[in-house]
Chains A and B, each alone.
Chain A
């Protein structure tokens, strides 16, 4: 997980890396050197620098009181074992109390129990710790299965609030079924399926699912974004997950988006930049998305933006921008950032790959910049204090925010 980290702060972290020290006079270090009597300086021996760096890192971590990676893995393993033991005990207790209980009845019980248990850890948890809690949820579920003798039919997520999902269903029924199968493994209060014109025949089948709500328009929707915006209007959950109806994503990964939004992020985005390759191959739409983030002071978001499914929004975010804003994703992104809402990127969750028509990206971004520039001035606070435009009779365009005070 990462959020909008500025390029500046990234540079600082690199600057902070200590340069490797090479002993003066080429002093030989290590058992191999003394055995062979080598007088070659440390840096000259193959692999020596790497060994030294590794040992120095371990040393620093020990000196600063941090736990080593091996120790962390062992601790995580023991935590998982502990959660599994607790799950087994809780599962056995539930089984004893509900001898005729079904798996569908077991899941809400396990979900509630897990949320209560994880709640104490969740209050002050870092992103890494929240991610680990999701893994521990699987261990706890395994324990429940062991104790109750029944499989928990979904993911156990430490969610304080309610969650729902919105999916736009296109023409591919087979893929939609796979998508819904994953979504049904999540503790969602409802799944809103927005039916495109080609998916309307599936309505009867979909309504047989207890948590699915369908909505459709005989005229269809202008874009998948417009369809999801229509679906978002129907749900009142605390967190809303937006998923691609044509590309299934594992419930375990979708759960990370929900947990992060439930923990306080207003928008949690899937990571598309990792798939896009080098800058020159990414294309104009990606450049526009990234530049919009840069101009709104969030370069750390790279080319990730609302609209790239899957993503999750908090109720606060939906109320702030309005569900209809999602019809134009760049506008929604600009609105979120301009409102000071917290936007995070979940590195573990890949972008589904849903594509729009190329010209729509330009429309979305021009609308986004039009809003921002109208509200916050021609340069969005990027200063131009040193230019003497008077020497050339004004120059430039727009209001003179950030210009030389004498101009």
Chain B
């Protein structure tokens, strides 16, 4: 027994598949992809059969031994160098629903996130260069098979119990379930991104949404909503939101998750390449679409939509 090698290295009983909950609890990078519990094998059959569906994408982790059942929830996680939190994010994603597929859209990752995503059992769409802000979500959504799509970020570990509020809202009939996060706004001057979200919602006749937006994660959407707005619109979240409102989708603020405090500070990025101009431009793009939609004239929000001051 001492000099056992290869397949005989461990006693037979140790090679038996452990219970699902124990396996999921393994720390990042320690789990073996082949040891996924059966419920994670819920995948669209075409995924493995169409390797060229996404250019440059490398799909792994397909195990087609069992009869395929469509996933109820697709969790889409754009990843760019997030090895610190990725395994925990994927683990929580799998806990959202018994039939969950996790789609990790790796773009420009060079820190070993790919190995972590594969080891965690996620379906991986890998791109060798960064796709840019929000494009990963759109790419992931296009490949998703679930009836509910849940969008989370790879740098933010949110417990499954909280994420479940979003997917359950979709199951109850909401089309888009937003994070009820408006940012710090009990002050005279707010960040321009917060201003942009409030202004767009007011212009679209939905001031009740306050600063809630598809720009912020987590949020979930129904397949119906995805079909109405198109996956490509998700690359510009305010535009997606505008299209959803125009399509008459049922949009609600579901639960407050303070992503402001969960987001790690990126002082260097704020100094050198702040996202503020990008997000303001996105909101303008959305306004432009709203004004020109269907060739009709500007829409008229409800009279009560804008509150007291209209000057």
Contact = CB atoms under 8 A, between A and B. Distances in A.
Contacts of A287: 195, 198-199, 202
B186 A280 contact: yes
Interface stretch (B22-30, B112-120, B158-166, B294-302): B294-302
B105 to A, nearest CB: 10
Interface in B256-311: 277-278, 280-289, 291, 298-311
B34 interface: no
B310 A366 contact: no
A395 B287 contact: no
Contact of B131 (A356, A358, A387): A387
Contacts of A396: 232-233, 235-236, 239, 285
Given A279-B186, A287-B202, A369-B287, A359 B309 contact: no
A223 B233 CA distance: 39
A356 B303 CA distance: 11
Contacts of A391: 54-55, 127, 131, 135, 138-139
Interface string A353-395: 0111111111101110110010000111011101111011111
Nearest to A359: B303
B202 A288 contact: yes
B288 A356 contact: no
A274 to B, nearest CB: 8
B138 A392 contact: yes
A295 interface: yes
A383 B203 contact: no
Given A288-B199, A392-B139, A396-B239, A277 B188 contact: yes
B188 to A, nearest CB: 6
Given A373-B288, A384-B282, A389 B235 contact: yes
B133 interface: yes
A234 to B, nearest CB: 23
Given A278-B185, A280-B186, A384-B281, A358 B307 contact: yes
Contact of A397 (B129, B203, B288, B310): B288
Contacts of A379: 281, 284-285
A395 B309 CA distance: 35
Nearest to B236: A396
A315 interface: no
Contact of A359 (B130, B277, B284, B300): B300
Contacts of A367: 298
A386 B188 contact: no
B132 interface: yes
Given A355-B310, A370-B291, A392-B231, A397 B195 contact: no
Contacts of B232: 389, 392-396
Interface in B47-95: 54-55
A289 B203 CA distance: 11
Nearest to A8: B274
B308 to A, nearest CB: 5
A280 B186 CA distance: 6
Interface string B188-222: 11101011101100110101001000000000000
A290 B197 CA distance: 12
Given A302-B189, A369-B287, A388 B131 contact: yes
B135 A362 contact: no
B12 interface: no
Interface in A236-253: none
29 contacts: A273-B188, A278-B186, A279-B188, A280-B186, A284-B199, A285-B306, A285-B309, A285-B310, A286-B309, A287-B198, A355-B308, A358-B304, A358-B309, A359-B303, A360-B310, A361-B310, A363-B298, A369-B284, A379-B285, A386-B132, A389-B135, A391-B135, A392-B135, A393-B232, A395-B235, A396-B239, A396-B285, A397-B236, A404-B132
Top 9 A-B pairs ranked by shortest CB distance? A283-B307, A382-B281, A284-B202, A387-B132, A284-B306, A291-B199, A361-B310, A395-B235, A356-B310
Given A369-B287, A389-B132, 20 more contacts: A279-B185, A285-B306, A299-B192, A307-B311, A362-B205, A362-B300, A362-B310, A366-B291, A369-B284, A382-B278, A382-B281, A384-B282, A388-B132, A391-B127, A391-B135, A392-B139, A392-B142, A394-B232, A396-B239, A397-B288
